[in-house]
C-alpha cells in the first residue's frame, strides 16, 4: 500500500471509528468492554 493510500485509510478509519464511538452506543459499550478486559487481564 502506498503511503498516500495508507494515510487516507488511516484518516477514514479514524473518522468512522470516532463517529461510531460517539453515536452508536452498543459499539462504544463493546469497545469499552474489550478495553476493560485488557486492563483487568494485564494490570498487574
Partner 1 sequence: MKLFLQIVGLFALLLCVTLATLSLKHRGADGPSLLFPGGKLVSGELHQGADPDWSFTDQVGTIELETSNPVSSRRIFVMESGGKIYVGSAYMRSMLGRLWKDWAFDVEETGARNAVARIEGVRYERELVRVNDPKIVEGVARKSAMKYAGGATPEAVAQIMKQVADGDTWLFELAPRSR
Query: Would you state the torsion angle of the CA atoms of residues 7, 33, 36, 32, taken in this order, to the nearest 10 degrees?
Result: 50
d(CA 35, CA 38): 5
**C-beta of 9: minimal distance to partner 1 in Å?**
7
Report, in Å, the least distance between residue 15 CB and partner 1. 9
CB of 1 to partner 1, least distance (A): 6
Residues of this chain that interact with partner 1 (CB under 8 A) are 1, 6, 9-10, 13-14, 17-18, 21-22, 28-29, 31-33, 35-36, 39, 42-44
DSSP conformational letter for 2: -
Amino acid at each position: 500500500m502506498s503511503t498516500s493510500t495508507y494515510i487516507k485509510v488511516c484518516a477514514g478509519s479514524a473518522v468512522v471509528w470516532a463517529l461510531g464511538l460517539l453515536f452508536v452506543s452498543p459499539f462504544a459499550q463493546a469497545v469499552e468492554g474489550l478495553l476493560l478486559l485488557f486492563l483487568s487481564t494485564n494490570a498487574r
